[in-house]
Chains A and B, each alone.
Chain A
Amino acid sequence: MSTMQSPTSFGQAGDIPNGPGAAAILAAGIGCAVMGILAFAGDASDAMGKALNFYNPAGTLSGVTTLAIIIWLVAWFVLARMWATKTVAMRKVNLASFALLIVGLLLTFPPFMDLLQGK
Chain B
Amino acid sequence: MEISTHDLLTVLHGMGFGALFMLAFSGALAELYRISAPGAPSQMSAREQSLLNFYLVSMVLLAWLTVFSGEYIVYPWYRAVPPAGVTDLADYPRRLLLASGKTSEWHNIGMEWKEHVAWLAPISITMVAYVTMKYGRTIFQHRNMRIAVLVFAVTAFAATGVAGAFGAFLNKYAPTRGGSVIILMKGE
Contact = CB atoms under 8 A, between A and B. Distances in A.
Nearest to B107: A110
Interface residues of B, number: 49
A61 B139 CA distance: 36
Interface in B135-181: 135-139, 141-142, 144-145, 147-149, 151-152, 155, 159
Contacts of B133: 11
Contacts of B131: 21, 24-25
Given A8-B46, A93-B144, A94-B148, A108 B113 contact: yes
B120 A105 contact: yes
For chain A, what secondary structure do more than half of its interface residues adopt (helix, strand, loop), or is it mixed? helix
Most buried by B among A18, A36, A64: A18
Contact of A108 (B35, B72, B116): B116
B108 interface: yes
A30 B43 CA distance: 33
A105 B119 CA distance: 11
A35 B155 contact: no
B123 A8 contact: no
A28 B122 CA distance: 10
Contact of A13 (B67, B127, B142, B152): B142
Contacts of A69: 123
A109 B120 CA distance: 12
A8 B71 contact: no
Given A57-B76, A94-B144, A110 B45 contact: no
Nearest to A108: B116
Contacts, number: 141
B139 A6 contact: no
A45 interface: no
B139 A68 contact: no
A97 B44 contact: no
Interface string A62-74: 1011001100100
A110 B43 CA distance: 45
Interface in A1-31: 5-14, 16, 18, 20-22, 24-25, 27-28, 31
18 contacts: A6-B46, A8-B43, A8-B44, A12-B136, A13-B135, A13-B141, A18-B145, A21-B135, A28-B124, A31-B123, A32-B123, A64-B116, A65-B71, A68-B119, A90-B142, A98-B151, A105-B155, A111-B109
